Homo-oligomer: A and B are copies of this chain.
């Protein structure tokens, strides 16, 4: 890990007891720990055993932060709609967990392009942009055309009918005509936040020194 003390656990298909064990062992090793895809009932069980545990219900993330983490540089996390916010929060919290400052810019989808243009200067300040969008997923392309730094696009499963659970947005992003964009799996806010943090740390110079 970039900053030496962050571990992640993918909790989707683990029992609360299994997660408890993993948290304990990482804690003993001196790491902060973050869990993704945590259901409320898993949290309830874990909170009794780890009173300092923090839960972000929208992003379904838990964090055990035994060690303070300084947040440096800047990552912008943007969404097309409000339904994309849970995935965006997964990305934003992941980047913060690993030591990035994050600017959240939500609900700037391309069907109302002027809301996005009004925020362009702010977005350009980030070392890396995460663009989260479902349905037609066009935010990534427009964004990559507006900023100079890398854009990581996250398709979401928001939509119905021919959105096919995020496939429409995924294809849009993969086929972008704009330069400087790459894509992660549908709803994978974690993956986007992780890579945005890597890039942000390379940019602020922390990366090189610790490697």
Residues of A within 8 A of B (CB): 2, 8, 12-14, 18, 80-83, 109-113, 117, 124, 127, 135-138, 141-142, 144-146, 148-150, 152, 155, 157-188, 191-192, 194-195, 198-199, 202-203, 205, 207-208, 211
8 A-B residue pairings within 8 Å (CB atoms): A110-B142, A135-B175, A135-B176, A136-B141, A136-B176, A138-B138, A150-B199, A162-B186
**Shortest beta-carbon distance, A90 to chain B, in Å?**
12
Tell me which of A137, A148, A202, A205 has the highest count of chain B C-beta atoms within 10 A of its own C-beta.
A202
- CB atoms of B186 and A161 under 8 A apart: yes
**Shortest beta-carbon distance, A153 to chain B, in Å?**
8
Copies in the complex: 8
- Whether A182 touches B182, Cβ cut-off 8 Å, given contacts A110-B138, A138-B141, A170-B162, is yes
List the B side residues contacting A172 at CB < 8 Å: 136-138, 168, 171-172
